[in-house]
Amino acid sequence: MQQRQMGKNGPKISAIGLGAWPIGGGMGPVEEAEAITTVRSAIDAGITFLDTAQAYRTSEDTLGKALSDGYRERCFLATKVSGRYSRRDIEEAMDNSLRALGVEHVDLYQIHSWNPQYPIAESMEAMLRLQEAGKTRYIGVSNYNAAQMQKALQTGLFHSNQPRYNLFARDIEAQDLPFSGQNGIGILAHSPLAKGLLTDKYRPGHIFPDADERSGFPQFQGEIFNRHIAIANRLGLLAADKGLSLLQLAIAWILRREEVSCVLVGAKSETQVLQYLGAVGAEFSSGELADIDKILLGEADD
């Protein structure tokens, strides 16, 4: 597995990471035994960066079980404090996460989102104190834009930001990606498969069950869903010309940016995990990138 540096001065991490939201049940139920196999097969395959969060339902507990038998020492473990960011909230959330995960420390602790109700200086000081106390090796943020990262940097240094970034969600390219690059902050890209739209799995009219978060997302309903599927199909043809599957193209396209330290892909099974591996090392000519842009803009011929 390719290793990349997390930001300018951070540790080396695997270029593909396992996102542990699906094994928490947020995209439909996953049996615990299947979840444990998924995590362990990812680590065995070199996908050693694991990402979870306080808010990911049963994910931290399940990860804790998967990381026994020596797997903890072989991975880079990241979690997040979710929603409330007072000093006390952050300290309590950290202790709860360590307990659920069954570990003494995590490798990266992240503030899950920007919340203007909590002064960023207080939140960042709490994060820095947890780092000093050895409960986390590194600290980071998530879903912050450039202005929010700038404010957080006024209190102290952090190594990573975790924004959504995929072929259908490119809004970070204008300001946030360049800001991260200029300030040595590593990008951990979340939702790289657009939550399944970029996998060649779904056909128009598919209905997601209530227990799956996608049942409530507009891009998975009606005409918008069908339009995304049509674009994904065109991208799939371009991928096939390169000897890649659609999801491998989607991951490789994110890895083309040097600001990206890791692409966090969610998976529900060992089979899904193993399909990621072929994405690493794929490169794009400027002509291919222009063709992708045309497809995304709906300008490509059928």
Ligand X SMILES: NC(=O)c1ccc[n+]([C@@H]2O[C@H](COP(=O)([O-])OP(=O)(O)OC[C@H]3O[C@@H](n4cnc5c(N)ncnc54)[C@H](OP(=O)(O)O)[C@@H]3O)[C@@H](O)[C@H]2O)c1
Report the site for ligand X in 147-166 (rule: CB under 6 A): 162
Contact pick of 22, 64, 186, 236 for ligand X (by CB under 6 A): 22
Between 7 and 19, CB nearer to ligand X: 19
Between 62 and 142, CB nearer to ligand X: 142
Report the site for ligand X in 250-289 (rule: CB under 6 A): 264-268, 272, 275
DSSP reduced 3-state for 14 = strand
Between 116 and 134, CB nearer to ligand X: 116
Question: Residues 88-127 vs ligand X: string with x where CB under 6 A?
Answer: ------------------------x---------------
Minimum CB separation of residue 286 from ligand X in Å reads 26
One-letter identity of residue 44:
D
- Which residue spans within the chain are E strands per DSSP? 3-5, 12-14, 16-19, 49-51, 76-81, 106-111, 136-142, 160-162, 186-189, 260-266
Between 80 and 133, CB nearer to ligand X: 80
Contacts with 261 (C-beta within 8 Å, 6 or more apart), sequence order: 4, 5, 6, 7, 10, 13, 15, 160, 186, 187, 188
Contacts with 146 (C-beta within 8 Å, 6 or more apart), sequence order: 175, 176, 178, 179, 180
The distance from CA 190 to its chain's CA centroid, rounded to whole angstroms, is 3
Minimum CB separation of residue 267 from ligand X in Å reads 5
Minimum CB separation of residue 260 from ligand X in Å reads 13
Q: Is 118 a known active-site residue?
A: no
Size of the site for ligand X (CB under 6 A): 28
Between 75 and 194, CB nearer to ligand X: 194
Question: Phi/psi of residue 66, each to 5°?
Answer: -65, -25
Contact pick of 40, 135, 159, 190 for ligand X (by CB under 6 A): 190
Tokens describing residue 254: 């994110």
7 is a contact residue toward ligand X (CB under 6 A):
no
CA dist 76 and 11 (Å) reads: 10
Contact pick of 48, 191, 248, 261 for ligand X (by CB under 6 A): 191
195 conformational bin, left if phi > 0, alpha if psi -120 to 50, beta if neither: left
Catalytic hit among 56, 71, 109, 118: 56
CA distances from 157 to 4, 56, 137, 150 (A): 19, 26, 13, 10
186 is a contact residue toward ligand X (CB under 6 A):
no
Neighbours of 9 (CB within 10 A): 11
In the complex, residue closest to ligand X by CB: 266
Of 33, 32, 35, 39, give the one whose Cα is nearest residue 17: 39
Instruction: Say which residue the tokens 């970034």 belong to.
Output: 165
DSSP reduced 3-state for 177 = helix
Question: Residues 48-87 vs ligand X: string with x where CB under 6 A?
Answer: ---x------------------------------------
Between 42 and 98, CB nearer to ligand X: 42
201 is a contact residue toward ligand X (CB under 6 A):
yes
**Which residues sit at the interface with ligand X, rule CB under 6 A?**
19-22, 27-28, 51, 112, 142-143, 162, 190-196, 199, 201, 247, 264-268, 272, 275
Question: Which residues are annotated as catalytic?
Answer: 56
